[in-house]
Amino acid sequence: MTARSLESGAPARERAASPSLWARIWQNDAPGYLFLLPWLIGFFGLTIGPIITSLYLSFTDFDLLTSPDWVGADNYIRMFTNDPKFWASMRVTMVFVIFSVPLKLAFALAVAMLLNRGMRGLPLYRALFYLPSLLGASVAIAILWRQIFARDGLVNDFLSIFGIVGPSWISSPQYSLWTLIILAVWQFGSPMIIFLAGLRQIPQDMYEAASLDGAGKWRQFVKITLPLLTPVVFFNAIIQTIEAFKSFTPAFIISGGTGNPINSTLFYTLYLYQEAFGFFRMGYASALAWVLLALVGVFTAFSFLTSKYWVHYDD
Protein backbone atom coordinates (compact mmCIF):
# COMPACT_ATOMS: atom_id res chain seq x y z
CA MET A 1 0.00 0.00 0.00
CA THR A 2 1.35 3.46 -0.87
CA ALA A 3 1.43 6.37 1.51
CA ARG A 4 -1.18 8.11 -0.56
CA SER A 5 -3.79 5.39 -0.20
CA LEU A 6 -3.04 5.12 3.50
CA GLU A 7 -3.85 8.79 3.92
CA SER A 8 -7.08 8.60 2.02
CA GLY A 9 -8.15 5.43 3.75
CA ALA A 10 -9.47 6.94 6.92
CA PRO A 11 -11.74 9.62 5.41
CA ALA A 12 -13.12 7.06 2.98
CA ARG A 13 -14.19 4.81 5.82
CA GLU A 14 -15.70 7.78 7.60
CA ARG A 15 -17.67 8.73 4.53
CA ALA A 16 -19.02 5.23 4.22
CA ALA A 17 -20.15 5.23 7.83
CA SER A 18 -21.83 8.65 7.86
CA PRO A 19 -24.48 10.01 5.45
CA SER A 20 -23.16 11.51 2.23
CA LEU A 21 -22.12 15.14 1.97
CA TRP A 22 -25.20 16.09 0.01
CA ALA A 23 -27.49 14.37 2.46
CA ARG A 24 -25.87 16.23 5.30
CA ILE A 25 -26.21 19.58 3.54
CA TRP A 26 -29.81 18.75 2.82
CA GLN A 27 -30.43 17.86 6.45
CA ASN A 28 -28.67 20.86 7.93
CA ASP A 29 -29.43 23.62 5.49
CA ALA A 30 -32.64 22.65 3.75
CA PRO A 31 -34.96 24.40 6.22
CA GLY A 32 -32.99 27.61 5.78
CA TYR A 33 -33.22 27.48 2.01
CA LEU A 34 -36.85 26.55 2.27
CA PHE A 35 -37.58 29.73 4.19
CA LEU A 36 -35.48 31.69 1.69
CA LEU A 37 -37.30 30.19 -1.26
CA PRO A 38 -40.05 32.80 -1.71
CA TRP A 39 -37.45 35.54 -1.73
CA LEU A 40 -35.12 33.59 -4.02
CA ILE A 41 -37.94 33.00 -6.49
CA GLY A 42 -38.83 36.67 -6.38
CA PHE A 43 -35.25 37.84 -6.65
CA PHE A 44 -34.23 35.64 -9.53
CA GLY A 45 -37.61 35.36 -11.24
CA LEU A 46 -38.87 38.91 -10.86
CA THR A 47 -35.74 41.02 -10.47
CA ILE A 48 -32.52 39.51 -11.82
CA GLY A 49 -34.29 37.64 -14.64
CA PRO A 50 -36.11 40.61 -16.10
CA ILE A 51 -33.03 42.82 -15.65
CA ILE A 52 -30.90 40.50 -17.73
CA THR A 53 -33.70 39.97 -20.22
CA SER A 54 -34.16 43.73 -20.59
CA LEU A 55 -30.46 44.13 -21.28
CA TYR A 56 -30.82 41.62 -24.10
CA LEU A 57 -34.04 43.23 -25.32
CA SER A 58 -32.39 46.64 -25.43
CA PHE A 59 -30.37 45.35 -28.40
CA THR A 60 -33.48 44.13 -30.20
CA ASP A 61 -36.62 45.27 -31.85
CA PHE A 62 -39.47 43.75 -29.89
CA ASP A 63 -43.21 44.46 -29.94
CA LEU A 64 -44.33 41.82 -27.41
CA LEU A 65 -46.19 39.86 -30.13
CA THR A 66 -43.44 38.71 -32.48
CA SER A 67 -40.10 37.42 -31.33
CA PRO A 68 -37.32 40.01 -30.75
CA ASP A 69 -35.08 40.96 -33.71
CA TRP A 70 -31.44 41.62 -32.92
CA VAL A 71 -30.56 45.13 -34.05
CA GLY A 72 -27.28 45.64 -32.27
CA ALA A 73 -26.72 49.09 -30.80
CA ASP A 74 -29.33 50.69 -33.07
CA ASN A 75 -31.66 51.59 -30.20
CA TYR A 76 -28.89 53.39 -28.34
CA ILE A 77 -27.64 55.13 -31.48
CA ARG A 78 -31.11 56.34 -32.37
CA MET A 79 -31.70 57.56 -28.82
CA PHE A 80 -28.67 59.80 -28.80
CA THR A 81 -28.69 60.91 -32.44
CA ASN A 82 -32.23 60.93 -33.70
CA ASP A 83 -34.80 61.22 -30.90
CA PRO A 84 -35.78 64.73 -29.82
CA LYS A 85 -38.29 63.29 -27.35
CA PHE A 86 -35.50 61.46 -25.57
CA TRP A 87 -33.64 64.71 -25.09
CA ALA A 88 -36.84 66.52 -24.11
CA SER A 89 -37.61 63.93 -21.47
CA MET A 90 -34.02 63.98 -20.28
CA ARG A 91 -34.18 67.75 -19.91
CA VAL A 92 -37.48 67.57 -17.95
CA THR A 93 -36.12 64.92 -15.61
CA MET A 94 -32.86 66.77 -15.10
CA VAL A 95 -34.65 70.01 -14.27
CA PHE A 96 -36.88 68.06 -11.92
CA VAL A 97 -33.92 66.39 -10.18
CA ILE A 98 -31.77 69.52 -10.02
CA PHE A 99 -34.50 71.61 -8.45
CA SER A 100 -36.67 69.21 -6.50
CA VAL A 101 -33.87 67.40 -4.63
CA PRO A 102 -32.00 70.41 -3.17
CA LEU A 103 -35.27 72.22 -2.44
CA LYS A 104 -36.73 69.19 -0.75
CA LEU A 105 -33.59 68.59 1.30
CA ALA A 106 -33.34 72.24 2.31
CA PHE A 107 -36.99 72.29 3.30
CA ALA A 108 -36.67 69.00 5.18
CA LEU A 109 -33.64 70.28 7.05
CA ALA A 110 -35.30 73.57 7.91
CA VAL A 111 -38.38 71.85 9.32
CA ALA A 112 -36.23 69.28 11.14
CA MET A 113 -34.26 72.09 12.80
CA LEU A 114 -37.47 73.78 13.80
CA LEU A 115 -38.78 70.55 15.31
CA ASN A 116 -35.46 69.86 16.98
CA ARG A 117 -35.84 72.88 19.22
CA GLY A 118 -37.74 70.69 21.67
CA MET A 119 -41.23 71.99 21.14
CA ARG A 120 -44.33 70.67 22.77
CA GLY A 121 -46.35 68.17 20.75
CA LEU A 122 -43.31 67.17 18.73
CA PRO A 123 -44.52 63.61 17.97
CA LEU A 124 -47.76 65.04 16.54
CA TYR A 125 -45.96 67.51 14.26
CA ARG A 126 -43.49 64.86 13.23
CA ALA A 127 -46.32 62.55 12.20
CA LEU A 128 -48.19 65.35 10.41
CA PHE A 129 -45.13 66.42 8.45
CA TYR A 130 -44.33 62.84 7.59
CA LEU A 131 -47.80 62.15 6.27
CA PRO A 132 -47.25 63.65 2.78
CA SER A 133 -44.31 61.31 2.32
CA LEU A 134 -46.58 58.36 2.90
CA LEU A 135 -49.30 59.62 0.62
CA GLY A 136 -47.23 61.65 -1.82
CA ALA A 137 -46.46 59.15 -4.50
CA SER A 138 -50.01 57.88 -4.56
CA VAL A 139 -52.47 58.39 -7.37
CA ALA A 140 -54.98 60.04 -5.04
CA ILE A 141 -52.60 62.81 -4.05
CA ALA A 142 -51.64 63.42 -7.65
CA ILE A 143 -55.33 63.83 -8.48
CA LEU A 144 -55.74 66.15 -5.51
CA TRP A 145 -52.73 68.14 -6.75
CA ARG A 146 -54.35 68.45 -10.16
CA GLN A 147 -57.42 69.93 -8.50
CA ILE A 148 -55.44 72.34 -6.37
CA PHE A 149 -53.45 73.73 -9.30
CA ALA A 150 -56.23 73.67 -11.90
CA ARG A 151 -57.55 76.92 -13.39
CA ASP A 152 -60.45 76.93 -10.93
CA GLY A 153 -58.41 75.23 -8.22
CA LEU A 154 -57.53 76.24 -4.67
CA VAL A 155 -54.37 78.13 -5.54
CA ASN A 156 -56.18 80.42 -7.93
CA ASP A 157 -59.08 80.84 -5.49
CA PHE A 158 -56.54 82.03 -2.96
CA LEU A 159 -54.82 84.35 -5.44
CA SER A 160 -58.17 85.83 -6.45
CA ILE A 161 -58.51 87.19 -2.91
CA PHE A 162 -55.68 89.56 -3.87
CA GLY A 163 -57.21 90.21 -7.27
CA ILE A 164 -54.70 88.05 -9.13
CA VAL A 165 -56.01 85.89 -11.91
CA GLY A 166 -53.77 82.84 -11.93
CA PRO A 167 -53.12 80.66 -14.96
CA SER A 168 -53.97 77.01 -15.12
CA TRP A 169 -50.77 75.92 -13.48
CA ILE A 170 -50.81 72.37 -14.71
CA SER A 171 -51.80 73.03 -18.27
CA SER A 172 -49.38 75.83 -18.96
CA PRO A 173 -45.95 74.68 -20.14
CA GLN A 174 -44.15 77.36 -18.11
CA TYR A 175 -45.58 76.21 -14.80
CA SER A 176 -46.59 72.57 -15.11
CA LEU A 177 -43.17 71.14 -14.23
CA TRP A 178 -42.90 73.51 -11.28
CA THR A 179 -46.17 72.27 -9.79
CA LEU A 180 -44.64 68.79 -9.90
CA ILE A 181 -41.48 70.08 -8.26
CA ILE A 182 -43.58 71.67 -5.51
CA LEU A 183 -45.44 68.40 -5.09
CA ALA A 184 -42.11 66.61 -4.68
CA VAL A 185 -40.81 69.16 -2.20
CA TRP A 186 -44.02 68.84 -0.22
CA GLN A 187 -43.09 65.20 0.39
CA PHE A 188 -40.18 66.24 2.57
CA GLY A 189 -41.24 63.97 5.43
CA SER A 190 -38.88 61.05 5.10
CA PRO A 191 -35.66 63.06 4.68
CA MET A 192 -36.92 65.29 7.51
CA ILE A 193 -37.24 62.35 9.89
CA ILE A 194 -33.71 61.27 9.02
CA PHE A 195 -32.38 64.82 9.44
CA LEU A 196 -34.14 65.03 12.80
CA ALA A 197 -32.44 61.84 13.94
CA GLY A 198 -29.12 63.22 12.70
CA LEU A 199 -29.60 66.53 14.50
CA ARG A 200 -30.33 64.67 17.71
CA GLN A 201 -26.90 63.06 17.46
CA ILE A 202 -25.06 66.36 17.65
CA PRO A 203 -24.12 66.94 21.28
CA GLN A 204 -25.55 70.09 22.82
CA ASP A 205 -22.23 71.08 24.38
CA MET A 206 -20.78 71.46 20.87
CA TYR A 207 -23.15 74.39 20.43
CA GLU A 208 -22.45 75.67 23.91
CA ALA A 209 -18.72 75.63 23.23
CA ALA A 210 -19.36 77.43 19.95
CA SER A 211 -21.54 80.06 21.57
CA LEU A 212 -18.81 80.69 24.16
CA ASP A 213 -16.45 81.01 21.20
CA GLY A 214 -18.72 83.79 20.00
CA ALA A 215 -20.32 81.95 17.10
CA GLY A 216 -23.82 83.18 16.27
CA LYS A 217 -26.65 80.92 15.11
CA TRP A 218 -25.68 81.11 11.45
CA ARG A 219 -22.01 80.37 12.05
CA GLN A 220 -23.00 77.50 14.34
CA PHE A 221 -25.18 76.14 11.55
CA VAL A 222 -22.53 76.46 8.87
CA LYS A 223 -19.54 75.41 10.95
CA ILE A 224 -21.03 72.78 13.21
CA THR A 225 -24.51 71.58 12.29
CA LEU A 226 -23.91 71.20 8.57
CA PRO A 227 -20.51 69.49 8.72
CA LEU A 228 -21.65 67.10 11.45
CA LEU A 229 -24.78 66.38 9.46
CA THR A 230 -22.99 65.61 6.19
CA PRO A 231 -23.33 61.81 6.51
CA VAL A 232 -27.08 62.29 6.75
CA VAL A 233 -27.12 64.87 3.96
CA PHE A 234 -25.16 62.45 1.81
CA PHE A 235 -27.56 59.60 2.50
CA ASN A 236 -30.63 61.74 1.90
CA ALA A 237 -29.20 63.26 -1.28
CA ILE A 238 -28.50 59.87 -2.82
CA ILE A 239 -31.84 58.37 -1.89
CA GLN A 240 -33.81 61.42 -2.97
CA THR A 241 -31.94 61.78 -6.24
CA ILE A 242 -32.59 58.19 -7.16
CA GLU A 243 -36.23 58.68 -6.21
CA ALA A 244 -36.41 61.82 -8.33
CA PHE A 245 -34.92 60.08 -11.38
CA LYS A 246 -37.53 57.35 -10.95
CA SER A 247 -40.46 59.72 -10.36
CA PHE A 248 -43.42 58.68 -12.47
CA THR A 249 -46.90 58.69 -10.90
CA PRO A 250 -47.44 62.44 -10.39
CA ALA A 251 -46.46 63.30 -13.95
CA PHE A 252 -48.50 60.44 -15.32
CA ILE A 253 -51.64 61.44 -13.43
CA ILE A 254 -51.37 65.19 -13.84
CA SER A 255 -50.67 65.08 -17.56
CA GLY A 256 -53.03 62.18 -18.12
CA GLY A 257 -50.13 60.02 -19.24
CA THR A 258 -49.15 62.37 -22.10
CA GLY A 259 -46.33 64.42 -20.64
CA ASN A 260 -48.10 67.49 -22.01
CA PRO A 261 -48.35 70.43 -22.28
CA ILE A 262 -45.70 70.45 -25.02
CA ASN A 263 -43.76 67.66 -23.34
CA SER A 264 -43.18 69.94 -20.36
CA THR A 265 -43.96 67.12 -17.93
CA LEU A 266 -42.60 64.33 -20.06
CA PHE A 267 -40.50 62.71 -17.37
CA TYR A 268 -37.95 60.20 -18.57
CA THR A 269 -39.88 57.36 -16.94
CA LEU A 270 -43.09 58.61 -18.52
CA TYR A 271 -41.47 58.57 -21.96
CA LEU A 272 -40.17 55.10 -21.23
CA TYR A 273 -43.65 54.02 -20.26
CA GLN A 274 -45.14 55.47 -23.45
CA GLU A 275 -42.60 53.67 -25.59
CA ALA A 276 -43.15 50.39 -23.79
CA PHE A 277 -46.86 50.28 -23.20
CA GLY A 278 -48.15 52.95 -25.60
CA PHE A 279 -46.21 51.96 -28.71
CA PHE A 280 -45.09 48.51 -27.59
CA ARG A 281 -41.48 49.28 -28.51
CA MET A 282 -40.13 47.05 -25.80
CA GLY A 283 -36.63 46.94 -27.23
CA TYR A 284 -36.31 50.71 -27.32
CA ALA A 285 -37.94 51.06 -23.88
CA SER A 286 -35.44 48.57 -22.48
CA ALA A 287 -32.60 50.62 -23.93
CA LEU A 288 -34.10 53.74 -22.31
CA ALA A 289 -34.28 51.90 -18.97
CA TRP A 290 -30.62 50.90 -19.21
CA VAL A 291 -29.55 54.43 -19.97
CA LEU A 292 -31.45 55.61 -16.91
CA LEU A 293 -29.80 52.92 -14.81
CA ALA A 294 -26.40 53.95 -16.11
CA LEU A 295 -27.17 57.58 -15.40
CA VAL A 296 -28.22 56.86 -11.81
CA GLY A 297 -25.21 54.60 -11.41
CA VAL A 298 -22.81 57.27 -12.65
CA PHE A 299 -24.38 59.86 -10.39
CA THR A 300 -24.19 57.56 -7.35
CA ALA A 301 -20.62 56.53 -8.07
CA PHE A 302 -19.66 60.18 -8.50
CA SER A 303 -21.32 61.02 -5.16
CA PHE A 304 -19.44 58.28 -3.38
CA LEU A 305 -16.15 59.27 -4.98
CA THR A 306 -16.51 62.90 -3.95
CA SER A 307 -17.91 62.06 -0.52
CA LYS A 308 -14.50 61.73 1.08
CA TYR A 309 -13.93 65.43 0.44
CA TRP A 310 -17.11 66.71 2.02
CA VAL A 311 -18.66 64.04 4.24
CA HIS A 312 -17.32 64.03 7.80
CA TYR A 313 -17.56 60.75 9.60
CA ASP A 314 -17.10 60.85 13.34
CA ASP A 315 -15.35 57.52 13.62
Partner 1 sequence: MATSIQLRQLVKAYGDLEVIHSIDLDIDPGEFTVFVGPSGCGKSTLLRMIAGLEPITGGDLLIDSQRMNDVPAARRGIAMVFQSYALYPHMNVYQNLAFGLETAKTPKAEIQARVQRAAEILQIVPLLQRKPKQLSGGQRQRVAIGRAIVREPKIFLFDEPLSNLDAELRVQMRVEIAKLHNDLGNTMIYVTHDQVEAMTMADKIVVLRLGVIEQAGAPLELYNNPKNLFVAGFIGSPKMNFLTATEDGAGLKVAGATLNLPRAVAGATTLGIRPEHITLTQGSGIKIADLRVDLVENLGGQTVVYATTSDGQSVNIVLEGQAPVDLGSTVTAYADPARLHLFNANGDAI
| Spatial CA neighbour of 131 closest among 154, 116, 111 | 111
69-70 and 60-61 beta bridge pairing = antiparallel
Least distance between partner 1 and beta carbon 87 (Å): 41
Supply the minimum distance, in Å, between the C-beta of residue 44 and partner 1.
43
Please identify, using beta-carbon distances, which residue of 209 and 262 lies nearer to partner 1: 209
**Is residue 179 within 8 Å of residue 170, measured between CB atoms?**
yes
Task: Tell me the closest approach of the beta carbon of residue 205 to partner 1, in angstroms.
Answer: 4
- Alpha carbon distance 301, 269 (integer Å): 21
Q: Is 118 in the site for partner 1 (CB under 8 A)?
A: no
DSSP conformation letters of 89-104: HHHHHHHHHHHHHHHH
Q: Which is nearer to partner 1, 152 or 208 (CB)?
A: 208
Among positions 228, 238, 239, 292, the unique one binding partner 1 when judged by CB under 8 A: 228
Q: Give the nearest distance from C-beta 240 to partner 1 in angstroms.
A: 23
Cα 155 to Cα 138, 180, 261, 264, distances in angstroms: 21, 14, 19, 20
Between 95 and 224, CB nearer to partner 1: 224
User: Where in 178-217 is the site for partner 1 (CB under 8 A)?
Assistant: 203, 205-206, 208-215
* Burial bucket for residue 65 (CB in 10 Å: 0-12, 13-18, 19+): exposed
- Cis ω on the peptide bond leading into residue 68 (within 30° of 0)? no
| Range in contact with partner 1 (rule: CB under 8 A) among 79-87, 90-98, 160-168, 221-229 | 221-229
With CB under 8 A, what is the number of residues at the site for partner 1? 19
SS3 of residue 284 by DSSP = helix
Site for partner 1 (CB under 8 A): which residue of 223, 262, 297, 302?
A: 223
Q: Which stretch binds partner 1 (CB under 8 A): 47-55, 171-179, 220-228, 293-301?
A: 220-228
Query: Looking at residue 258, what DSSP letter applies?
Result: S
Question: Which residues of this protein are in contact with partner 1, per CB under 8 A?
Answer: 203, 205-206, 208-215, 219, 223-224, 227-228, 312, 314-315
